[in-house]
Amino acid sequence: MAPKINSLAILVMSTILINIITFGSANFNKEVDVTWGDGRAKILNNGDLLTLSLDKTSGSGFQSKDEYMFAKIDTQLKLVPGNSAGTVTAYFLSSQGPTHDEIDFEFLGNLSGEPYILHTNVYAQGKGNREQQFYLWFDPTADFHTYSILWNPQRIIFSVDGTPIREFKNLESRGVPYPKNQPMRIYSSLWNADDWATRGGLIKTDWSKAPFTASYRNYKADACIILNSNSCTGKNISWFNQELDATSQAKLKWARNHFMIYNYCADSNRFPQGFPTECTIM
Side chain identity, residue 227: L
DSSP-derived secondary structure for 175-224: T---S-SS-BEEEEEEEE-TTTTTGGGTSPP-GGGPPEEEEEEEEEEEEE
CA–CA separation, 193 and 180 (whole Å): 30
| Summary count for the chain: helices (H), strands (E) | 3, 15
Side chain identity, residue 259: F
> 33 by DSSP, 3-state: which?
strand
Pick the catalytic residue from 106, 167, 243, 278. 106
Phi, psi torsion values for 249, nearest 5 degrees: -65, -35
Indicate if 106 belongs to the active site.
Answer: yes
E-strand spans in 79-204? 87-94, 102-108, 117-123, 132-134, 145-151, 155-160, 163-169, 185-192
Indicate if 67 belongs to the active site.
Answer: no
Phi, psi torsion values for 22, nearest 5 degrees: -95, -5
Task: State how far the alpha carbon of 15 is from the alpha carbons of 86, 157, 262, 266, in Å.
Answer: 32, 16, 25, 29
Pick the catalytic residue from 31, 102, 167, 278. 102
CA dihedral 122, 124, 130, 134 (to 10 degrees): 0
Q: Is the dihedral of CA 54, 58, 59, 65 positive or negative?
A: negative
Q: Is the dihedral of CA 217, 221, 227, 228 positive or negative?
A: positive
Active site residues per annotation: 102, 106
